Amino acid sequence: MRDMTPRTMYGSVDLAPLLRTLQGDTGMRVPSWEKPAAIAALTDMGLGVEQIAALVHMSGTDTTEAVRKYKQARHTHQVVERAVIGHAIWIARSQAKLRERTKAANAKARAKRLAERVLVDGHWFHPRAPHGTNTGYNGFGCRCRGPEGCHEAHMQAQRDRRAAS
């Protein structure tokens, strides 16, 4: 075993003294607060109920009940963990579908806005565009004053508003 202090759902436990007990050292007693973690770690190592009972100084029926509770809790934890991971995957997939639908709807709306433009004096003009703004130029494709004139008129209007306040 690589790690002599495994972490369990009940906390960490030092297994070295317990495993020395298997070699014949009888002076070690497991503290009561460390018993659930020891039972969990020893169960995961594959030890039988009798061996675990001898190591943690519990009766066979108490050890059997503790091992049963641990296995049930571990199974419940795994089921919940799988459910949480599955839910996260489901959320990611649903958000991806929503993004695809949103992109498709935005593309359709943009195509409709661009189709509403008319050609006036060699420039595209959109009747509903906020003229002189970046939104009018980029979102509606309105070129009523040409590319630089649109932006420049909007920036000048912003400067005038700031100067007036």
Instruction: Output the pLDDT for position 16.
Output: 66
DSSP state of 116: T
Distance of alpha carbon 27 from alpha carbon 18, whole angstroms: 10
Q: Are strands 11-12 and 7-8 parallel, antiparallel or unpaired?
A: antiparallel
Instruction: Output the pLDDT for position 106.
Output: 93
Distance of alpha carbon 134 from alpha carbon 121, whole angstroms: 21
Distance of alpha carbon 153 from alpha carbon 134, whole angstroms: 10
Residues 6+ apart with CB under 8 A from 148: none
Chain CA centroid to CA 14, Å: 33
Contact 18, 54 (CB under 8 A): no
Instruction: Output the pLDDT for position 17.
Output: 67
Whole-model pTM: value is 0.38
Backbone angles phi, psi at 124, to 5 degrees: -75, 135
With H, G, I as helix, E, B as strand and everything else as coil, classify residue 7.
strand
Distance of alpha carbon 69 from alpha carbon 50, whole angstroms: 16
The token pair that represents 105 in the structure block: 């709807």
**Residue ranges covered by each domain of the chain:** 1-106, 116-164
Instruction: Output the pLDDT for position 49.
Output: 87
Instruction: Output the pLDDT for position 160.
Output: 93
What is the full per-residue pLDDT of the chain (165 aa) written as tens digits? 456 666 666 666 667 666 666 655 566 666 777 778 888 888 888 888 888 887 787 888 888 888 888 888 887 777 777 777 888 888 888 899 999 999 999 999 999 999 999 988 888 888 888 877 778 878 888 887 655 666 676 678 889 999 998
Instruction: Output the pLDDT for position 1.
Output: 47
Instruction: Output the pLDDT for position 112.
Output: 93
Other beta carbons within 10 angstroms of residue 147's beta carbon come to 10
Task: Identify the CA nearest to 126 among candidates 139, 110, 140.
Answer: 140
Backbone angles phi, psi at 111, to 5 degrees: -60, -40
